[in-house]
Amino acid sequence: MLVHIPEVLTAEQVRYCRDLMARANWVDGRITAGHQSAQVKRNLQLPENTPEAQELAEIVLDALGRHPLFMSAVLPKKIFPPLFNRYDAEGEMNFGSHVDNAIRTVPGTSVRVRTDVSSTLFLSSPEEYDGGELMVEDTYGTHAVKLPAGDMIVYPGTSLHHVTKVTRGSRIASFFWTESMISDVTRRAMMFDLDISIIRLNGDHPEHPSVVSLTSLYHNLLRQWAAT
């Protein structure tokens, strides 16, 4: 299930993040790659322990907590602190086909995050660069994703995916993983569909008795399936 989540960050927040990044020192992106990914990863990344990266991560986490569509689609239990990468045309940077590591340990802690859901939050507008599409494979084929700055895509962490070569400009983004309260991707998708249907029904017929019964069903399913 791929879900486009618009306007996670405002235009003002994107500008602030980009200004902060312009003052930061970027390093080889392979510092956080697993063995398989390191073989196909060619990009730059902000070191996680820098003040800039930590401030940026807090901005993203705060925005996620206030975005109802993210909460509905992902049902987050734990979020790995957001990371930040850059693909430049110089060097024709890209990231070959790979699957994200199943478990990530938060640096400096014993906290482990199962990577049920992968997220990419775009911080460059599509007009700023050529190439750099996120390509996500699922049973329905391969999907190309290139979103406005401030928008985000979430997709199953089990997905094979890659980033195409950047041939002009720079593609800048945040990326991270979420352990969902519902690990099963099919059940999680059903819960999302049910939640969206309830919201639409409530908008069209706010007094309809089915709103209450379907909301009850949603929470009882969540109670049965969620791992807290």
Question: Over the stretch 17-42, which tens digit does the pLDDT of each residue have?
Answer: 999 999 999 998 876 655 556 678 89
- Cα(212)–Cα(208) distance, rounded to whole angstroms? 8
0.85 exceeded by pTM: yes
For 20, the domain range is: 3-180
CB 158, CB 189: distance < 8 Å? no
**Are 144 and 189 in the same domain?**
no
* Among candidate residues 164, 180, 196, the one where a domain is terminated: 180
CATH number at residue 92: 2.60.120.620
Closest CA to 112 of 87, 156, 77, 148: 77
Spatial neighbors of 53 by CB under 8 A, at least 6 apart, are: 24, 46, 47, 83, 84
**Are 124 and 45 in the same domain?**
yes
**Are 28 and 71 in the same domain?**
yes
Using one digit for the tens of pLDDT, what is the confidence trace for 188-204?
A: 999 999 999 999 999 99
**Are 73 and 92 in the same domain?**
yes
CB 40, CB 97: distance < 8 Å? yes
**Are 151 and 213 in the same domain?**
no
Residue-level pLDDT at 33: 58
| Distances in whole angstroms, Cα of residue 42 to Cα of each of 71, 75, 163, 169, 178 | 31, 32, 10, 15, 24
**Are 59 and 134 in the same domain?**
yes
**Are 95 and 207 in the same domain?**
no
Neighbours of 158 (CB within 10 A): 14
CATH number at residue 217: 4.10.860
Place of tokens 């750099």: 132
**Are 82 and 39 in the same domain?**
yes
For 82-107, b/e burial (b = at least 16 CB within 10 A) is: bbbbbbbbeeebbbeebbbbeebeee
Q: Total domain count for the chain?
A: 2
**Are 56 and 92 in the same domain?**
yes
pLDDT beneath 50: ranges in the chain: none
**Are 115 and 195 in the same domain?**
no
Q: Find residue 49's DSSP bridge partners.
A: none
CA angle 197, 9, 16 (to 5 degrees): 175
Spatial neighbors of 120 by CB under 8 A, at least 6 apart, are: 134, 145, 152, 153, 173, 174, 175
Residue-level pLDDT at 139: 87
Residue-level pLDDT at 54: 96
Q: Token pair for residue 199?
A: 């919201």
**Are 42 and 115 in the same domain?**
yes
Residue-level pLDDT at 92: 87
**Are 139 and 152 in the same domain?**
yes
